[in-house]
Amino acid sequence: MFAKAVAVSLLTLASASVFAAECSVTVDSTDQMSYTSKEFTVDKSCKEFTVKLTHSGNLPKNVMGHNLVISKTADMQAIATEGMSQGLDKDYLKADNAAIIAHTKMIGAPEKETEVKFDTSKLEAGGDYSFFCTFPGHISMMKGKVVVK
Ligand SMILES: [Cu+2]
């Protein structure tokens, strides 16, 4: 029992040091068509950055699916509009659009989480970037700011 507790705390320490520079963020999404974050920061001192998307709701992907896409704010509406015609089996995303900087897959209950890792060299410090969901209609509520420093 004691040995197990030590192993667990060592693991916790190890993961804490990996994320010391905060090279990751977790954004939750809900059955209320929302993300729980309005903004997150990507620190360019991280070579790679991981965005973890969780879905805390009970509705399936075809009803309340969510993904998380990052692009320049100027490109987001066009990406979402183009995605709408791609259908659920393509996660409502034309994934080869070069304007997409990073994207997760689309998830819904019973799936709980997904993540995407991307190279921070794709982002310019001080640039105007956003994250959003491309499920049809969701971008009106499901969007936020990506601050790059
Ligand atoms: Cu959504």
Segment 107-114 mean pLDDT: 98
Respond yes or no on whether the N-terminal peptide bond of residue 110 is cis (omega within 30° of 0).
Answer: yes
- Confidence (pLDDT) at 9: 55
Residue 47: closest CA among 123, 120, 148: 120
* Digit-coded pLDDT (tens) for 18-69: 555 689 999 999 999 999 999 999 999 999 999 999 999 999 999 999 999 9
Q: What angle do CA 5, 49, 66 make, to 5 degrees?
A: 90
* Distance between Cα 53 and ligand 1 center (Å): 11
* Distance between Cα 5 and ligand 1 center (Å): 38
* Distance between Cα 135 and ligand 1 center (Å): 5
What are the structure tokens assigned to 48, written together? 């790679």
In whole angstroms, what is the distance from residue 69 CA to residue 64 CA? 16
DSSP code at position 139: G
Whole-prediction pTM: 0.86
